[in-house]
A and B are shown apart, each in its own frame.
Chain A
């Protein structure tokens, strides 16, 4: 655990690079008092006492209830729709069709290719063909059943490779290949010629559902001045606003999106509030009444975005000593019916491009080629989910590396020691990693905490009957702290009041990750007040500056910097005023713990609020605004070369499992996860991120899978869509290392998504080490493990 002094020492010992932090924090971490401490999250008391209001807690009185009629066909032409009976039903306020959408009949996080209401055809089971608003949910539901739609079914396609084939049914007019991108570094042919061992493997991963606890809901409330207010649990209020406005045919300033506390998002609530937000807004626009649109769990599974499924073909070559010479990958990335967050946003945005960039892993490989195809199919669509295209490719590179190590007779640890990124390494995109590269540190720290050498030697059967066998595995990973697009800026406002209290305005949303604690910590630190002095304003596009979406593990770092910049503007007038009051030069003044004092004579001091009151009384500025954009991203459209993301978080996980070799059941006995996070702003909250993330990665490895037949999801409820329970998740030992990021607040970089990424391959690799079989198509549920053991010729003899 982080709190143990050993790990803290470890972190310092391992901090090899000397980073100049002048750019953002005047002093080093030793002087920090609020940032860098394990404070209790500000929303915890409200959550555990049930006082926090989630979407479902808002009263429904006065609202119409919105419902969506969904397509029963994966692909069909709409011949006719008869809404007469539904309209005549008592209590129905509106039944809307495509022609009723006032503005653009399309939405989407990147490309507006998904109809708000389908007009000519439907592209997946769940596509919306009509909207209803009624006085009660029951009437709305009944009205849906009275709508008569005549369809002409069209041939459907459910596999990205088939979708790309000649003569495949065309899902969108422009064709089914949504994106093809490639990455070329060096010469793979030459690289494979140098290799002494080459292996080729194919790995496959299914659609995954986010399964956030809180079901989606949204309220659209028309305002007297013609503005549309859209409220709901949403990860990206600005993205929602950017979609609702054109759908209603309104300028952006006539749509206001306000966040309600979210019960989990994991990337899913970047997309879903756009979907139901646009639809509820259209119903509210027509009826001129507030409309509430809430999805049942089954409807969420049917309708909202998922993690992209992929087929990944990998070829890797190495010298006998384990030095990697070449890596070639082909990704068949299934987008499903609509573009969502799949395609490229230049230069390096979009999940598909992110997958391509990350595919060769955090390893020095001189020759790399990746071909990445993103194809439409008639399945539900892929969107953002914790890791944004990275978890899939980690499952490929971490497994193929282990398979290669086995061929070479090297241990999983040795092959990673040989090839892992270090300071100065060049990535597959040709990016030189010139700062904050703690990957090898995480490998060594993890190996030490896990006692890898001992455990690696002690694998084998537990019982005389040879039914249970123990094994260990490693998963390594890296993840960006940004989104690689041109519009990756974050704005923050800081207002100090005459009593010393502070309001912090930020558009970064809270979904359980801790932003509403960490961001005020940074603000309090920079101003020199206490955490409880800072109140964060709930994100509301009418009040807070544009902050971009709360995605890409970007909040702490990007918004943290914007907050520091905003706070500094206010601090400048506070210190100038204090300087006159104390008769001490500004350069000698310091603000800490509600006091402004002379660094050389600390007894010379005044209260922070006294300086604030004087500023107010003398008309000095007490408002600051910060705007921070990361160093520009680059990625060549033809070669995939450039600097797509400005800094990376690094991680190594180690797992020990026991496999029942007769049934295929897997039990995780021991788990250590080490991270280079730059700087932990709230170590306790960071541990929470790690534990939740590992649990999620475990689900990907062992049980999660959206099962689809003829386009219809078979496991829509949480009874059949399985995510890990507390009994499935082992005790997770986090190890936190801090190799400072020179572009981060106090050296921080992102952590939100990293923890789940190496967990999946660490567990998969441990399973193979234990039972001899390898599951190359997820999930590794008991049956899959059982057949993998059979395929390997039975369990190991000893």
Chain B
């Protein structure tokens, strides 16, 4: 069996034609439209540049959106937290609002790559890359985030549950659209969240498993009102364990219930066998451990200490 030329030969040179720096979102959208499918948005470039180098991606025009003021900032709108499309993995955990009201997202962002990558890479890029275990995507999915997508035709808002289509594929067309905002509800006092990650080393390492949990509880009655469990990579896209979530709605906040939920989640997940990132059997076992630990910690944060 012959292996592909591209897997054996490498060149350092990047290939693209124009590099454009629009001054406004409208300019950017116009440039993309003018590119007629040959243009690509570039922000942090931590995925785009390696993809160009590996020739997985071809783009004759790169539209650099990093100078657009309308895509910056982390703000609170009522009970919602809104992140601009340029918010980086370093900025999110540096925000007290994110740390206090969306701790699981802060933890997920801090687990990405290295400081250099976190300084450049954006959360929007993390979503658009569509990787099944992306460290910011999994907690955002557990937080029921929605994203705003702009094009020359106007804006649309998409819940993350409907955003991911397949490995590396989302509903966003990055040859003509820009992800401008990410919005989700801040965690309240009766809510808790947890982010867990399993990898072969402690930094700069793709995960074997990522799990993010959000719960709403009634601490007095010791009842789980709502639970959101996001996992990756257990499917081609970041995955919400909906059946387990449903089984937990209104259930007692007890170790027994959680252990059962963890068993169920594990049985319903089907991670791939990966030579580099662990067997299916192992990762199913880890889903069990992580869902149990994640629910336990999130409930503790929501004020429910388990017996």
Contact = CB atoms under 8 A, between A and B. Distances in A.
A72 B11 contact: no
Interface in A659-708: 662-663, 665, 702-703, 707
Interface in B95-147: none
Nearest to B4: A72
Given A70-B8, A73-B2, A125-B3, A727 B282 contact: no
Interface stretch (B19-27, B37-45, B271-279): B271-279
Give the residue among B3, B205, B285 with the most A Cβ atoms within 10 A: B3
Contacts of A709: 275
Chain B facing A: main interface SS: loop
A137 interface: yes
Nearest to B9: A144
Nearest to A142: B11
Interface in A31-85: 67, 69-73
B9 A67 contact: yes
Contacts of B10: 141, 296, 298-299
A720 interface: yes
B158 interface: no
A781 B200 contact: yes
Interface string B1-17: 11111011111110000
Contacts of A296: 10-12
A69 B5 CA distance: 9
A137 B13 contact: yes
B201 A707 contact: no
Contacts, number: 92
A384 to B, nearest CB: 24
Nearest to A715: B276
Interface string A136-155: 11100100110000010100
Interface string A710-726: 11101110011010111
A709 B13 CA distance: 28
Interface stretch (A261-269, A322-330, A782-790): A782-790
Contacts of B201: 702-703, 722, 724-725, 727-728
Contacts of B8: 70-72, 125-126, 299, 302
A170 to B, nearest CB: 20
Interface in B183-232: 198, 200-206, 208
A153 B12 contact: no
A710 B289 CA distance: 34
B13 A72 contact: no
A782 to B, nearest CB: 6
Contacts of B278: 782-783
A787 B7 CA distance: 32
Given A712-B3, A714-B276, A786-B285, A727 B11 contact: no
Interface residues of B, number: 29
Chain A contact-residue range equals 35 or more
Interface string B262-306: 000000000000011011001001100100000000000000000
A71 B202 CA distance: 36
A796 to B, nearest CB: 18
Interface in A109-162: 125-126, 136-138, 141, 144-145, 151, 153
Given A73-B2, A137-B11, A298-B10, A703 B276 contact: no
A722 B5 contact: no
Contacts of A137: 11-13
Nearest to B10: A296
B9 A141 contact: yes
Contacts of A725: 201-204
A710 B2 CA distance: 9
Contacts of B206: 719-720
Interface in B149-207: 198, 200-206
A715 B276 CA distance: 8
B164 to A, nearest CB: 22
A145 to B, nearest CB: 6
A141 B282 contact: no
Given A715-B276, A719-B206, A783-B279, A145 B9 contact: yes
Contacts of B1: 73, 153, 710
B12 A712 contact: no
B12 A727 contact: no
B165 to A, nearest CB: 24
Contacts of B208: 782-783
B293 to A, nearest CB: 8
10 contacts: A137-B11, A138-B11, A145-B5, A663-B289, A703-B200, A707-B276, A709-B275, A722-B201, A786-B282, A786-B285
Interface of A: 67, 69-73, 125-126, 136-138, 141, 144-145, 151, 153, 296, 298-299, 302, 662-663, 665, 702-703, 707, 709-712, 714-716, 719-720, 722, 724-728, 781-783, 786-787
Q: Ordered nearest first, which 6 A-B pairs have the shortest CB separation?
A: A727-B202, A296-B10, A141-B11, A72-B2, A70-B8, A72-B3
